[in-house]
Amino acid sequence: MQKPSIPKGTRDFLPQETAKRNYIFNTISDVFKLFGFEQIETPAMENLSTLLGKYGDEGDKLLFKILNSGDYLSEVSDENLHSRNLQRLTGKISEKGLRYDLTVPFARFVAQHRNEISFPFKRYQIQPVWRADRPQKGRYREFFQCDADVVGSDSLLNEVELVQIIDEVYRRFGINVCIKINNRKILNGIAEVIGESDKIIDITVAIDKLDKIGLEKVNEELAFKGISREAVELLQPIILLEGANKEKIATLRHILSKSEIGQKGIDELEFILNKTELLPVRSTVELDLTLARGLNYYTGAIFEVKASDVEMGSISGGGRYDNLTGGFGLPDVSGVGISFGADRIFDVLNQLNLYPKELLSSTMVMVANFGEKEIEYCLPFVSKLRQSGISTELYPEAAKMKKQMAYADSKKIPFVIIAGENEMADHKVTLKNMTTGEQLSIHPEEIVEKIQR
Amino acid sequence: MQKPSIPKGTRDFLPQETAKRNYIFNTISDVFKLFGFEQIETPAMENLSTLLGKYGDEGDKLLFKILNSGDYLSEVSDENLHSRNLQRLTGKISEKGLRYDLTVPFARFVAQHRNEISFPFKRYQIQPVWRADRPQKGRYREFFQCDADVVGSDSLLNEVELVQIIDEVYRRFGINVCIKINNRKILNGIAEVIGESDKIIDITVAIDKLDKIGLEKVNEELAFKGISREAVELLQPIILLEGANKEKIATLRHILSKSEIGQKGIDELEFILNKTELLPVRSTVELDLTLARGLNYYTGAIFEVKASDVEMGSISGGGRYDNLTGGFGLPDVSGVGISFGADRIFDVLNQLNLYPKELLSSTMVMVANFGEKEIEYCLPFVSKLRQSGISTELYPEAAKMKKQMAYADSKKIPFVIIAGENEMADHKVTLKNMTTGEQLSIHPEEIVEKIQR
């Protein structure tokens, strides 16, 4: 007999967990819709030609690949087979892979359906993705991403709206957050003025680690990457820049006075911050020059969100990227987007105990079962309860009362209706409030009203 | 340049289609919850040991298998490799597969989490499944199933509730349906009295085709399967039984008088039909002896639902099965369930034009963009609109009015707010109703009220 199990890094979601996750997805989804984003879905499987080469060599390795159906060896020559050349063999026996993120399938979607959608196209997407990463605490091989993007519009108003979306989502969750913002053009400007334009990736990757490894190690890494001592020296005041956003911007304007792209980045940043100030945004919005984000495709604003009251990595992130769909034959389409990390939000809401109480119970009323005659007495008002939108269960067997009550307890059902011989004789029912223990003898017609109150 | 495409048999869902599908899932989900069912989710990937052997040889072939990560050939001997024995090789290079239905993962789930759930366990599950079937019209390689099951209760009240659930779901959709009901025990009884007990599967499979191929071909198939002429003769009145449910039952009682299991089946059927009559069920509920359903694991009641006003195969189906979880080390757990076919319901709602009109547009208000100053004038009331729950878009660029209006049209946005220089000077906005063409000049504070009306 096999012991039932699931692949490592994957999860089952029990009713309570599913209810909590639905609450997260619905909250995010409601806010996306409030800002005019429309939902799309793409298939779990994409052609490997769509996915390969989009996530770097490491990403290619982490793609889950689907074995071709039927005689998958028919196209494989003996020579290919015997050589055990994995890469070549994989190309022959597998042509599909599981979605690795939502961005590449979205780019493919936009290019493929360009004539069916209107630009600017504001879409959101909430679907699972799969990565053959080594599983560890908080890292899964199947997890959900919740992304909203606008493509086909260069306007910085989109960035402003994304800040509002972040603010509104976390306001609804009751999570206080700090929205960190930066701009890739500023980082490019910095690389330019210190004379290391070609090393911008190395510099941003190193700066990104400041919080984790400290200044000294960042400087070591910069030196190790071949950045000159002078340049590292010039970088110091920039990495350690402090104060209010306005002060930082003033200093940056000065330092980057000779970099056109740097000034452009500051302009963009200032626009977003100024417009945000006109709006009822409650979250802290902070310019953070150490924010670089690993992904190399960002070209303008970049965002990251941290929960203020718990220790946790970033719970949302995003930014502006140019030429998203170029690889699919649709060049010069700019986009900007934000992604919410459902798994981390799940943990933050648990830690801060912020889930709404209604999520704890799904059924409002259980009708105890005393046998066939009693059940027939109950059927009409059970229908009425449901017609009134009150979720109601009939305990299916005439089991011992203790067992039935234990079931109601385990499902945290707040009301139990007892209708045995006595109640039937009096044309009444007993309504038990499972929280207070209070019992009321009432007419069946009164149940709906009592419960709705 | 690659032309963007997706694997055959899979689909992208554009915003409109996604909205329609969400409407279907939410409607079904709401009704499941009203009856006390709780949602669970299981991973897309299951161990192949969980899936293989559960769907017959044909099913095993149709499973999508995932190539092991890393050096998947490391455990394959040269001999195994060179022999090109697909079955053996597949077992070495793949240990996971994509979910083929929701029932087997659910059985695995119940066995695995038996100590974390309370029985009777009423769960529902709405997730995609994958089958490497040959794609054709209406048949996809990725599609959603919407299942509700009760496990751990033998009570026929569960069957009665499933009939109510079917009725309520289709009442909400506005689709008139006929709920066909039968019982595997009756079919077993029939096989018994005609002396062909061991051929029950062949008989039910043949009977199931009556609608499609007619009586003559059914009889031919029965004969071909080795059922004696006498037995085929005895089957005729049973296959062609007509009249009201009560008449059919009376006739069956007589014909099956010598079969204990047959009588048991009739008792069960009668209980369900009698209780259903006490309830406000609007759909036709019809005993259909030709209903056998292909799946061999049903042991009691079986259901199938047909839309009355369109030509379409069954749009829901289900039944009672014993020993669902036996294969996973948890014997003697009976279950009963129902599955809604989302793809067919999607088509029926389209054909009958039954989707609610609200689904056609997602955004309620678009604010036209005349430039930065005008946008700053708009930002405060745009925030107010959203705070009032009115989905609002700011057109991100100060594009030509014609282009902005075309965008509003394409997204079927019912209201556009125009606030140019003139409006600003008067402290007003122009609210345009895109359906009637009517334009109102109003104060920004009045917008919410006007639109809510």
| Rg (chain A; Cα; Å) | 29
Give yes or no for residue B154 having a pLDDT over 90: yes
Give yes or no for residue A289 having a pLDDT over 90: no
Which pLDDT does position A132 carry in this prediction? 96
Residues 200-259 of A with CB under 8 A from B: none
Which pLDDT does position B294 carry in this prediction? 62
Q: Mean pLDDT over residues B263-280, rounded?
A: 96
Q: Is B19 on the interface with A (CB under 8 A)?
A: yes
Starting at the earlier edge strand, list the strands of the sheet with A65-66: A45-47, A96-98, A65-66, B65-66, B96-98, B45-47
Q: If pLDDT is split at 50, 70 and 90, which confidence band does A112 have?
A: very high
Helical segments of B119-259, H only: 157-173, 184-193, 200-207, 210-224, 229-239, 245-255
Q: Is A440 on the interface with B (CB under 8 A)?
A: no
CB atoms within 10 A of CB A217: 14
Beta strands in A6-93 (DSSP E): 38-39, 45-47, 65-66
Q: Do B72 and A86 touch (CB under 8 A)?
A: yes
Give yes or no for residue B150 having a pLDDT over 70: yes
**Which chain A residue has its CA at the smallest distance from B79's CA?**
A82
B11 CB neighbours in chain A (<8 A) are 43
Q: Is B280 on the interface with A (CB under 8 A)?
A: yes
Q: If pLDDT is split at 50, 70 and 90, which confidence band does B63 have?
A: very high
Q: Is A120 on the interface with B (CB under 8 A)?
A: yes
What does the DSSP assignment read for B247-277?
A: HHHHHHHHHTTT-HHHHHHHHHHHHHHHHHH
Cα A164 to Cα B219: distance, rounded to the nearest angstrom: 69
Give yes or no for residue B87 having a pLDDT over 90: no
CB B369 within 8 A of CB B404: yes
B410 CB neighbours in chain A (<8 A) are 118
Cα A292 to Cα A209: distance, rounded to the nearest angstrom: 9
More confident residue, B75 or A434: A434
**Which chain B residue has its CA at the smallest distance from A397's CA?**
B155
Q: Mean pLDDT over residues A405-414, rounded?
A: 95
**Considering chain B, what percentage of its residues have pLDDT values greater than 70?**
99
Cα B126 to Cα B316: distance, rounded to the nearest angstrom: 14
Angle value at C-alpha A319, between A315 and A320, nearest 5 degrees = 165
Chain position carrying tokens 């939410």: B26
Cα B396 to Cα B360: distance, rounded to the nearest angstrom: 22
Q: Do A4 and B118 touch (CB under 8 A)?
A: no
CB B18 within 8 A of CB A41: yes
Q: Is B124 on the interface with A (CB under 8 A)?
A: no
**Considering chain A, what percentage of its residues have pLDDT values greater than 90?**
76
Distance from CA of A157 to the nearest CA of B (A): 6
Give yes or no for residue B2 having a pLDDT over 70: no
Q: Mean pLDDT over residues A143-160, rounded?
A: 97
Bridge partners, residue A148, by sequence: A124, A338
A60 CB neighbours in chain B (<8 A) are none
B41 CB neighbours in chain A (<8 A) are 12-13, 18, 21
Which pLDDT does position A294 carry in this prediction? 62
Angle value at C-alpha B329, between B328 and B332, nearest 5 degrees = 105
Q: What are the tens digits of pLDDT across the range A188-211?
A: 899 898 888 778 778 877 877 887
Amino acid of residue B353: N
Q: Do A396 and B155 touch (CB under 8 A)?
A: yes
Which pLDDT does position A212 carry in this prediction? 84
More confident residue, A206 or B100: B100
**Which chain B residue has its CA at the smallest distance from A123's CA?**
B15
CB B44 within 8 A of CB B65: no
Which pLDDT does position B84 carry in this prediction? 87
Give yes or no for residue A447 having a pLDDT over 90: yes
Cα B301 to Cα B318: distance, rounded to the nearest angstrom: 8
Which pLDDT does position A156 carry in this prediction? 97
Q: Do A14 and B112 touch (CB under 8 A)?
A: no
* Structure-block tokens of residue A173: 């969750």
Which pLDDT does position B295 carry in this prediction? 61
Q: How far apart are the first and last CA of chain B?
A: 51
Cα B131 to Cα A51: distance, rounded to the nearest angstrom: 21
Q: What are the tens digits of pLDDT across the range A3-49?
A: 899 999 999 999 999 999 999 999 999 999 999 999 999 999 999 99
Q: Do A66 and B66 touch (CB under 8 A)?
A: yes
Q: Mention every residue, 6+ apart, whose C-beta is less than 8 A from residue B21.
A: A41, B13, B144, B342, B346
Which pLDDT does position A443 carry in this prediction? 96
Q: What are the tens digits of pLDDT across the range B352-370?
A: 999 998 888 789 999 999 9
Q: Mention every residue, 6+ apart, whose C-beta is less than 8 A from residue B57.
A: none
Q: Is A448 on the interface with B (CB under 8 A)?
A: no
Q: Do B18 and A41 touch (CB under 8 A)?
A: yes
Which pLDDT does position B117 carry in this prediction? 95
Which pLDDT does position B143 carry in this prediction? 96
**Which chain A residue has its CA at the smallest distance from B22's CA?**
A39
Cα B447 to Cα A216: distance, rounded to the nearest angstrom: 56
Q: Mention every residue, 6+ apart, whose C-beta is less than 8 A from residue B143.
A: B128, B129, B342, B343
Give yes or no for residue A164 having a pLDDT over 90: yes
Distance from CA of A285 to the nearest CA of B (A): 18
What does the DSSP assignment read for B3-52?
A: PP---TT---B-HHHHHHHHHHHHHHHHHHHHTT-EE-B--SEEEHHHHT
Residue (of A5, A7, A37) closest to A98 by Cα position: A7
3-state secondary structure of A80: helix
Give yes or no for residue A386 having a pLDDT over 70: yes
Q: Which of A45, A117, A142 to mutate to test the interface with B (most CBs of B within 10 A)?
A: A45
Distance from CA of A406 to the nearest CA of B (A): 9
Average pLDDT for chain B: 93
Residues 22-81 of A with CB under 8 A from B: 22, 33-36, 38-47, 49-50, 61-62, 64-67, 69-73, 78, 81
**Could you give the ipTM of this predicted complex?**
0.93
Q: Do B4 and A86 touch (CB under 8 A)?
A: no
Cα B367 to Cα B404: distance, rounded to the nearest angstrom: 9
Which pLDDT does position B202 carry in this prediction? 83
Cα B362 to Cα A263: distance, rounded to the nearest angstrom: 38
Q: Do B407 and A120 touch (CB under 8 A)?
A: yes
Residue (of A76, A113, A330) closest to B13 by Cα position: A113
Q: Are β-strands A365-367 and A415-418 bridged in parallel, bridged antiparallel, or unpaired? A: parallel
CB atoms within 10 A of CB B373: 9
C-alpha pair distances (Å), A102 with each of A144, A228, A320, A321: 9, 38, 15, 15
Q: Mean pLDDT over residues B41-48, rounded?
A: 98
* Structure-block tokens of residue A15: 């009713």
Which pLDDT does position A2 carry in this prediction? 63
Q: Mention every residue, 6+ apart, whose C-beta is less than 8 A from residue B136.
A: none
Q: Is A363 on the interface with B (CB under 8 A)?
A: yes
Give yes or no for residue B88 having a pLDDT over 70: yes
A95 CB neighbours in chain B (<8 A) are 7
Distance from CA of A130 to the nearest CA of B (A): 9
Cα B97 to Cα B44: distance, rounded to the nearest angstrom: 8
CB B310 within 8 A of CB B354: no
Q: Is B18 on the interface with A (CB under 8 A)?
A: yes
Which pLDDT does position A296 carry in this prediction? 67
Q: What are the tens digits of pLDDT across the range A251-281?
A: 999 999 999 999 999 999 999 999 999 999 9
Q: Do B2 and A49 touch (CB under 8 A)?
A: yes
Give yes or no for residue A406 having a pLDDT over 80: yes
Which pLDDT does position A266 carry in this prediction? 97
Q: Are β-strands A365-367 and A392-394 bridged in parallel, bridged antiparallel, or unpaired? A: parallel
3-state secondary structure of B433: strand
